Amino acid sequence: MTLDLIKDILLATVPLLIIFPTMFALTTWVERKALARIQNRIGPNKVGVPLTPYGGKLSLFGLGQPAADGIKMLFKENIVPTGADRLFHFLAPILSLIPSMLVLCFLPLDFPWLNGEQNSVKAFMLDGAVIFFFAITGLNTLAVFMAGWASRNKYSLLGGMRAIAQMVSYEIPLVLSAVVVVMIVGSLNADNIAKAQEGWNWFVFQPWGLAAFVIFFIGALAETNRSPFDLPEAESEIIAGYFTEYSGFKFALFFLGEYIAMFAISGLAVTLFLGAGAGPGVESLSWLKIFWFLTKVCILIGVMIWLRGTLPRLRVDQLMGFAWKFLLPLSILNIFVAGFAWHIKDANKETATSVVVWIASIIILYAAAKGLDRVNRAKVKPRTYQYGE
């Protein structure tokens, strides 16, 4: 019994370990190319396969860049600052990688060769998948603290504290927006959530689903320190946040951890709101599910890169204010609206009432967003200027 259990487990986990790190390598390349193109430059295109020993190079659009970075990271000298807790300095990048990797297996990735009959692997689809997801991403905060504390450097401690404050205060809107979907589906299991969104009735098309998706996406950005919230590594203020003292492969691990966390959390966003694996032509070809799932994840990653190319950074207090004063009340209100809408839809099924409910919830949510926005943004508005002769 133990032999085929191991076989099943390997069948489920090894593809994860292959797909996502390669996607990580590709994403670094896509990110640099996309950012370059946004800024009207070409991006990395020099690393290539040397054709002949004398010269000539197949540059293959710089696809060699991730490999080059990887090799560089491997051979970079690994500096540990004196006076640093050697053990925790070494443990921090590993602890930052484990949760992101572990969380990947809760996503409803139905690989074609797994087609459902291995019940032992089904154990992965355990009951409290969503809650497990948030529990384990919570460990990431620990890794950040450990890195900040262990490198005994004023800047990295400051960066670590900022990162923790940001992660903790954005985890609550994140969880509350996930609660909305769990409440509607009635189960924490990622598979049931995916089943509830078969065909085209994804949750994002519901008003409360859209609001929850926006809050979840903003929370996800903050959780993985991306774009408008990349405060910990704000180079213009304190140098590079908690991974200042890391070089060589440990820095690569942090980098890998951050990207895999990005994949994991956008995977969850796709599962909760964008109907994991649901898409045209899924009934006929079953392996299309995994294809649709990955394209949606890539679209979300694309939006993250797009945001990174456009938006400046928020200040610490604005960041906190935004989480506690805007996202949190909005997500709580969203839960009420979702409950209200779902309850009425259950009561009577005709389309008329559901349309009315649909519009009513949109109005309420929009009014709430605008109201909260007005409260917070009383003093900030574009000004007019006068011209002297």
Partner 1 sequence: MSVLGSGIFKGMAVTLKNFVGSYFDKERLTTNEYAWQANDKLPERAGDYPKEEAEQLSDTTTVTQYSRNFPMLLHDAGEPMDTVRCVACQICERECPPQCIYIEKSTEKKERSGNKAQFYPATFDIDVSVCMSCQICVEVCPFDAIVMNSQFELSTPSRFGELLLRRDDLLKSNDYYYKIHPEEASARDKRIADEKAAKEAKKKAAEAAKKKAAEAKSKSEAEAKAKEEAEAASKPTEPSDTPPAESTATPSTEPPATPTTEPEKEGSAE
Partner 2 sequence: MTVAAPNYELVQQDGLETSLLEVSMGPHHPSTHGVFRMDVKLDGETVVDLKPVFGYLHRNHEKLAENMSYLASMPFTDRLDYFNSMTNNWAYALAAEQLVEIEIPERAEYLRVIMSELTRLVNHVSLVGFFVNDLGALGTPLLYAFREREKILDLFEQASGARMMCNYFRFGGLRCDVPDGWLDRTREVVDRFPKFLDEYEKLLCENEIILSRTQGVGNLSKELAISAGITGPMLRASGVNYDIRKVDNYGIYERFKFRVPYSEGDVGDCYDRFMVRMLEMRESIGILRQALDGIENGPIMGNAGKVFKPQKSEAYGRVEAPKGELGFYLVADGTTQPYRYRVRPPSFINLTVLQDMCIGQQVADAVIILGSIDIVLGEVDR
Partner 3 sequence: MNEVTAFWMLAAISVLGALIAVRKRNLVHGVFALLVFFVGLAGLFLLLLAEFIAVVQILVYAGAVGILILFAIMLTDRVTGRDAFRVTSRGSFWGALISLAVFLVILLPTIQDIPTIENPTPKETIVETSTVKQLGIHLIKPYIITIEILALLLTAALVGAVTAAQGGRASENEENNK
Residues that bind partner 2 (CB under 8 A): 35, 38-41, 82-83, 154, 158, 228, 230, 234-239, 308-318, 377, 379-389
Which residue intervals of 197-284 are DSSP H helices? 207-223, 249-273
**Angle, CA of 30, 297 and 168, to the nearest 5°:** 100
Q: Contact between 384 and partner 1 (CB under 8 A)?
A: no
The answer to whether 242 and 160 have CB atoms below 8 angstroms apart is yes
Stretch that binds partner 1, among 146-154, 237-245, 274-282, 374-382 (CB under 8 A): 374-382
DSSP for residue 55? E
Least spacing, CB of residue 83 vs partner 2, in Å: 6
| Residues within window 222-251 making contact with partner 1, judged by CB under 8 A | 228
Q: What is the dihedral of CA 142, 133, 230, 373, to 10 degrees?
A: -120
Q: Which amino acid is at 97?
A: L
Nearer to partner 2 (CB atom), residue 19 or residue 38: 38
Work out the number of other CB atoms within 10 angstroms of the CB of residue 166: 24
| Shortest distance, position 280 Cβ to partner 1, whole Å | 25
Of 314, 318, 326, the residue nearest 374 (C-alpha): 326
CA nearest neighbour of 67 among 36, 33, 26: 26
* Of 35 and 136, CB closest to partner 2: 35
- Residues lying near partner 3 in the complex (CB under 8 A) are found at 2, 85, 88, 126-128, 131-132, 134-136, 138-139, 141-142, 145-146, 149, 161, 164, 168, 186-188
Nearer to partner 3, 168 or 359 (CB): 168
From partner 2, partner 3, partner 1, none, interface partner of 281 (C-beta below 5 to 8 A by class): none
Distance CA 154, CA 143 (A): 17
Q: Is 39 in the site for partner 1 (CB under 8 A)?
A: yes
Specify whether the CB–CB gap between 231 and 316 falls below 8 A.
yes
Q: Within 158-197, which residues bind partner 1 (CB under 8 A)? A: none
In the complex with partner 1, the residue whose CB is nearer, 108 or 228, is 228
CA distance 369 to 214: 12
E strands, 26-120, in order:
49-52, 55-58
Cα–Cα dist 140/98, whole Å: 9
C-alpha to C-alpha distance for 189 and 237, rounded to whole angstroms = 42
Select from 300, 235, 312 the least CA-distant residue to 27. 300
Per-residue contact track with partner 1, 324 to 363, x per CB under 8 A?
--x-------------------------------------
Of partner 1, partner 2, partner 3, none, which one sits near residue 16, judging by CB under 5 to 8 A according to partner kind?
none
Q: Under rule CB under 8 A, which residues in 251-310 are in contact with partner 1?
A: 306-307, 309-310
Q: CB of residue 380 vs partner 2: minimum separation in angstroms?
A: 5
Contacted by 32, from partner 1, partner 3, partner 2, none: CB < 5 to 8 Å by type: none
Q: How far is the CB of 314 from partner 2 (least distance, A)?
A: 6
| Cα–Cα distance measured from residue 252 to residue 70, given in angstroms and rounded to the nearest whole number | 8
Question: What is the C-alpha separation between 45 and 52, in angstroms, rounded?
Answer: 18
Q: Is 318 in the site for partner 1 (CB under 8 A)?
A: yes
* Residue 99, CA distances (Å) to 69, 95, 143 in order: 24, 7, 10
We find the least distance from the C-beta atom of residue 104 to partner 2, in angstroms, to be 28
CB of 128 to partner 3, least distance (A): 5
Instruction: Name the residue nearer to partner 3 (CB basis): 131 or 239.
Output: 131
- Measured from the CB atom, is 30 or 139 closer to partner 3? 139
> Judged by CB under 8 A, which of 55, 56, 83, 281 binds partner 1?
55
| Distance, CA of 207 to CA of 316 (rounded, Å) | 30
Q: Which amino acid is at 272?
A: L
Question: Count of CB atoms within 10 A of residue 377's CB?
Answer: 10
| Residue 307 site contact among partner 3, partner 1, partner 2, none (CB < 5 to 8 Å, cut-off depends on kind) | partner 1
Shortest distance, position 35 Cβ to partner 3, whole Å = 33
How many residues interact with partner 1 (rule CB under 8 A)? 28
> Which residues contribute to the site for partner 1 (CB under 8 A)?
34, 37-42, 55, 214, 218, 228, 306-307, 309-311, 314, 317-318, 321-322, 326, 369, 372-373, 376-377, 380
